[in-house]
Amino acid sequence: MASLAEKRLPDPEDRPVDPQARPEELRLLEALLFASTEPLDLATLAKRMPEGVDVKVALAQLQADYALRGVNLVRVANKWTFRTATDLSWLMTREITETRRLSRAAIEMLAIIAYHQPVTRAEIEEIRGVVTSKGTLDVLMETGWIRPRGRRKTPGRPLTFGTTEAFLSQFGLEVLGDLPGLEELKGTGLLDSRLPTGFSVPAPSDDPTLREDEDPLEADDNLELLLTPAADPDTSQGS
């Protein structure tokens, strides 16, 4: 490797002729992605790039460029962002800003929502065998990792829950299909919420497109109210 003395910063004038100069689109892409707080999707990136650049190819190139670095280019729900390499977490601990510790109930509920989505509160309770406290749902909603996505077309029209992009981002998942152990779960048929286990192997989906048995949320659905015990027969039996 060249010594540092030889690797001095070139003068700006030298850049265009520098043989090491990287393709401009890679410079633009990395600048955009470095600067942004949020992951950026292909369309947004393409809009900011010069005409004629194949952004997909450039992104793949950039991802390869950074694969071995301390900072990697990753994809979350079809959006691109830089993240520090996960193998360096030991070094980064000091950056931690008091991460919230979820209760066991909340963690289980989150997992059920992730693996069974879209799923209703009653179905979550069926799996866990206990009534869910309003507080647990509130805590999960606050994380921004789950969202009510529609209403099941069944009596009572209960809310259906699913995970968000922030969920994928939090757990470093590119797509929901990357959920750990998902394939085994599908294989055992344990993802079917109906008992006894059926023949179909349902796969969780966070596709915002509603399922056939889902209605959209109404514009005036006040979710705050919807989640309160009063509106929820599950907990109205009182404590």
What lies within 8 Å, CB to CB, of 86 at 6+ separation is 172
CA distance linking residue 45 with residue 55, whole number of Å: 7
Residue 192 in the binding site for other proteins (CB under 8 A): yes
Give which of other proteins, a copy of itself, none residue 68 binds (C-beta under 5 to 8 Å, depending on kind).
a copy of itself
User: Is the sign of the CA dihedral 134, 140, 144, 149 positive or negative?
Assistant: negative
CA distance linking residue 34 with residue 40, whole number of Å: 10
Judged by CB under 8 A, the stretch of 17-25, 51-59, 97-105, 226-234 that binds other proteins is: 97-105
Q: What is the DSSP string of 199-214?
A: SS-------SSPPTTE
Give which of a copy of itself, other proteins, none residue 228 binds (C-beta under 5 to 8 Å, depending on kind).
none
What Å distances lie between residue 219 and 15, 72, 212, 216, 227, CA to CA? 54, 39, 19, 9, 16
Residue 46 in the binding site for a copy of itself (CB under 8 A): no
Nearer Cβ to other proteins, position 114 or 159? 114
String of contacts with a copy of itself for each residue 74-113, x by CB under 8 A: --------x-xx-xx--xx-xx------------------
Contacts with other proteins by CB under 8 A: the residue count is 62
CA distance linking residue 108 with residue 24, whole number of Å: 47
Give which of a copy of itself, other proteins, none residue 70 binds (C-beta under 5 to 8 Å, depending on kind).
a copy of itself
Give contact residues for a copy of itself (rule: CB under 8 A).
4, 7-10, 12, 15, 18, 20-22, 26-32, 34-36, 48, 57, 60-61, 63-64, 67-71, 82, 84-85, 87-88, 91-92, 94-95
